[in-house]
Amino acid sequence: MAEALGEVKRDLGRDAVILRTRSRRRGGLLGLLGGKAVWEIIACPAGAMTPAASRGRYVSDASGEARRALLVGNGPATAERAISPAEALGQLAAATAPPGHVQKTLAREVGELRRLVRSLVARRDGHTVDVPENVVELEEGLVEQGIEPRIVGELIRELRMDLTGRELADRQLVRNRMCEYVAARIHTAGDTYGSHAGGRGRVIALVGPTGVGKTTTIAKMAANYKLRLGLRVGLITIDTYRIAAVDQLQTYAEIIEVPLRTVLSPKELRQGVYALRGMDVVLIDTTGRSQNDLLRLSQMRSFLDVAETDEVHLVVSAATSLRCMRGVLEHFGTLGANRMLLTKLDEAATYGAALNLAEAGIGPIGYVTTGQEVPDDIAPADSMSLAKRIMGGINHA
Q: Which helix (H) or strand (E) holds 174?
A: helix 171-185
Mean pLDDT of 284-295: 68
Cis peptide before 209 (omega within 30 of 0): no
Higher pLDDT, 327 or 28: 327
3-state DSSP assignment of residue 235: strand
The full set of domain ranges for the chain reads 2-96, 102-185, 197-395
Residue 98: pLDDT band (50, 70, 90) is low
Q: Are 263 and 236 in contact (CB under 8 A)?
A: yes
- Model confidence at 97: pLDDT above 70: no
- Residue 68 buriedness (CB in 10 A; 0-12 / 13-18 / 19+): middle
How do residues 141-191 score in pLDDT, each as one tens digit? 999 998 999 999 999 999 999 988 888 989 999 999 999 999 999 999 875
Greater model confidence, 33 or 145: 145
CA dihedral 266, 269, 275, 281 (to 10 degrees): -140
Show the CA angle centred on residue 274, arms to residues 269 and 280, nearest 5°: 110
CA end-to-end span of the chain: 41
Name the strand (E) or helix (H) holding 117.
Answer: helix 101-122
Is the pLDDT assigned to residue 116 strictly greater than 80? Answer: no
| Bridge partners, residue 44, by sequence | 17
Instruction: For residues 251 and 60, give the distance between their C-alpha atoms in angstroms, rounded to a whole number.
Output: 88
Domain at 197-395: CATH architecture = 3-Layer(aba) Sandwich (3.40)
Element holding 167 (H helix, E strand) = helix 165-168
Cβ pair 215, 245 in contact under 8 A? yes
d(CA 25, CA 27) in angstroms, rounded, equals 6
pLDDT tier for residue 388 given thresholds of 50, 70 and 90 = very high
Q: Model confidence at 108, in pLDDT bands (50, 70, 90)?
A: low
- Does pLDDT of 14 surpass 70? yes
Find the mean pLDDT for residues 121-128: 48
CA distances from 33 to 36, 76, 84, 317, 395 (A): 9, 30, 16, 63, 50
Cα gap 396→119, rounded to integer Å: 22
Going by the DSSP 8-state scheme, the letter that residue 227 receives in this structure is I
Q: How far apart are alpha carbons 143 and 48 in whole angstroms?
A: 55
Cβ atoms of residues 45 and 16 within 8 Å:
yes
Q: Which range, 42-46, 152-156, 370-374, has the best average confidence (pLDDT)?
A: 152-156
Cα–Cα distance, 209 to 214 (Å, whole number): 9
Looking at residue 305, its pLDDT comes to 84
For the chain, the maximum distance between any two Cα atoms, rounded to a whole number of angstroms, is 108
